[in-house]
Amino acid sequence: MTTIAPVAFRRTVELTIDGRAVTAREGATVLEACRAAGVEIPTLCYLETLTPVNVCRVCVVEVEGGRALVPACSRPVAAGMVVRTDSDRVRTSRRMVLELLASSVDLSTAAGDVHRWIGEYGARPERHGPSAPAAPTRPHAGHHAEPEVGSAATVVQPVKRDNNLYVRDYAKCILCYKCVEACGEDAQNTFAIAVAGRGFDAHISTELDVALPESACVYCGNCIGVCPTGALMFVTEHDLRATGDWDEDRQAVTRTVCPYCGVGCNLEVHVQDDRIVKVTSPLDHDVTSGNLCVKGRFGFAYVEASG
Ligand code: SF4
Ligand code: SF4
Ligand code: FES
């Protein structure tokens, strides 16, 4: 007798996105349904390899019958849901998020999409006035010193350069929590960094704010790999940018397998002028999901030494 193996059927739900009937997998998020339908939703704190933390709210959409806008990156679809991704309310909310971030954080090295969204949503960070001078000391938790009238308070602070591998420039940090997630239970399970402080004083910190070499950090660089603004950056990239020599048009990216052990992690080696300037890892690779260890991420000096 022939036995026929049971076929696993996936349940689906019907919903409407911007007036269009679509079908999505049960349990999918509104973001996934929108992407499958070709509708772009901006995201900052979301990454497909990390648990959604819902902190940036730039992905909000309007759901008919709902009082508040909902974050598309974490809200599951439901049968009969009517979603609007481009209403006035949605656009105003996204514009406000982008405008407040761009007025208080240095987004100069943020991904290109962020600059495109700022333009597309009509965010005008300049209307908050020029940046106020950096606060000499951090405010007490819960207290935000008033900026000068007509100027925008910012999170500007000196670049932290306390090791040879990567710098932390928290003047560029939008507090998306991605680095914390990658360092914690979503990937590395090292928990070297977390969010400290409250309100405008909230910031990413090592335990007791110690320098990185004194912290639990193992230099996997997985936090660098997920940072959307360039707040965390290879020393090589940081120094080339400082001298005006960083040029992605002159860079070649080669995908290869890490030579150090048998796990098979995939590397993307970025080379400019015959020099490796940084190493990333593809998010969609089933071995690494974008993550590496210190050897794969930073152990490339021998290539130049032996070249
Ligand atoms: S380099 Fe790795 S261990 Fe160190 S803070 Fe980043 S994710 Fe955590
Ligand atoms: S350092 Fe980067 S990844 Fe970490 S919270 Fe700030 S912007 Fe996000
Ligand atoms: S991307 Fe959805 S809340 Fe940040």
CATH number, domain containing residue 227 = 2.20.25.90
Number of domains observed in the structure of the chain? 3
Domain contains 149? no
How high is the pLDDT of residue 302? 83
One domain, residues 172 and 300: yes
Q: Are residues 36 and 21 in the same domain?
A: yes
Residue whose Cα lies nearest atom 2 of ligand 1: it is 220
Q: 34-38: which pairs have CB atoms within 8 A and are 24 or more residues apart?
A: 34/61, 34/72, 34/83, 34/85
Does residue 269 share a domain with residue 286? yes
**Residue 273 sits in which domain range?**
166-306
Q: What is the pLDDT of residues 37-88, one digit of tens each?
A: 999 999 999 999 999 999 999 999 999 999 999 999 999 999 999 999 999 9
What's the pLDDT tens digit per position in 93-152? 999 999 999 999 999 999 889 999 999 999 999 998 888 877 666 655 556 666 667 888
Residue nearest to atom 7 of ligand 2 (CA): 173
pLDDT of residue 9: 63
The pLDDT, as a whole number, for residue 21 is 97
Asked if 84 and 110 sit in the same domain, the reply is no
Say what the pLDDT of residue 102 is: 96
Q: Quote the pLDDT of residue 92.
A: 98
Same-domain pairing of 172 and 267: yes
Domain annotation covers residue 222 = yes
Residues 103 and 189 in one domain: no
Tell me, in angstroms, the distance from the centre of ligand 3 to residue 113's CA.
Answer: 15
- Verify that 188 and 259 share a domain, yes or no: yes
Domain presence at residue 186: yes
What is the residue with the minimal CA distance to atom 2 of ligand 2?
227
